[in-house]
Amino acid sequence: MQKINSMHNNNKRRLLPAVMAIAAFILVSSFVLIQANRPTLYIIGDSTVKNGSGKGDSKLWGWGSFMADRFDTTRIAVQNHAIGGRSSRTFITEGRWDKILETLKRGDFVIMQFGHNDSGPLDDTARARGTIKGIGEDSSAIYNPIRKVNEVVHTYGWYMRKYINDAKAKGAIPIVCSPVPRNIYKNGKTERANGSYGTWAQEVATAGKAFFIPLNDYIADRYDALGADSVKNFFPGDHTHPNREGSTLNADMVVKGIKELKKCDLKNYLK
């Protein structure tokens, strides 16, 4: 009897590593499956969303660089695809949006912020990145000296509608932000984008039944409360590109906007 018990115990000891290995495999496989199936938050925009490499080049940042820290990334992936110098038009014509569409899937989110670079010329030899002002269906046929192709340029609203419609076609949830304000004051108040890109962003979002964050107003309200002397410390180089402190404030305002969006599940993934 003692010999049988000894054999039984030996068998248990031999089986234990195999059982533990199987359990570990199941645990790792479950984690990998969860990671593969988790939604992704895609962020697109210009240098105020991601400046340079997104790692504080020349002490300048964009608010998108601080968004991953605000989400539970075990449950949602965060990808900041914004790039400096791009407008709502050139982010598309350079193929950057098409690249995102290749992996965009149902249940993902897209936060977009454009406008800062849309007011430039349509066909200048420096950047050729401008869009037609407004949200209508106006267009202009040009020769693009940068890309060396003929191109039909549309309104800011046309390009923003494309982002919204393309995202929805993939089953993703589009969220439009009005562009962050610059460090420009008039009559002691922060200059806002009301009547231009801030208003147009909201109108396009409303018409396209996309979520909208009035980021321009949220940040301008904070700037007005802080005062011009404090706000100027956010802008070490010019009136457009904030440092870490300024971009952190902007990221906080994006989070504020997400929390206030009714019926938007993105808030469920915030820390």
- As a whole number of Å, the CA-based R_g of the chain is 24
Burial 233-255 (b: 16+ CB within 10 A, else e): ebbeeeebbbbeebbbbbbbbbb
User: Does the pLDDT value for residue 7 go beyond 50?
Assistant: yes
Burial 44-72 (b: 16+ CB within 10 A, else e): bbbbbbbbbebeeeeebbbbbbbbeebbe
Output the pLDDT for position 122: 98
Average pLDDT, the chain: 92
Helix, strand and coil percent figures for the chain, each rounded to 5? 45, 15, 40
pLDDT in tens, 46-85: 999 999 999 999 999 999 999 999 999 999 999 999 999 9
In three state form, how does the secondary structure of 233-266 look? HHCCCCCCCCCHHHHHHHHHHHHHHHHCCCCCHH
User: At 178, which amino acid appears?
Assistant: S
Q: Cα separation of 68 and 116, whole Å? A: 23
pLDDT in tens, 222-249: 999 999 999 999 999 999 999 999 999 9
Which residue, among 157, 200, 154, has the nearest Cα to 179 in the 3D structure?
A: 200
Which residue, among 172, 168, 180, has the nearest Cα to 40 in the 3D structure?
A: 172
pLDDT in tens, 183-226: 999 999 999 999 999 999 999 999 999 999 999 999 999 999 99
pLDDT band at 37 (very low <50, low <70, confident <90, very high): confident
pLDDT in tens, 90-121: 999 999 999 999 999 999 999 999 999 999 99
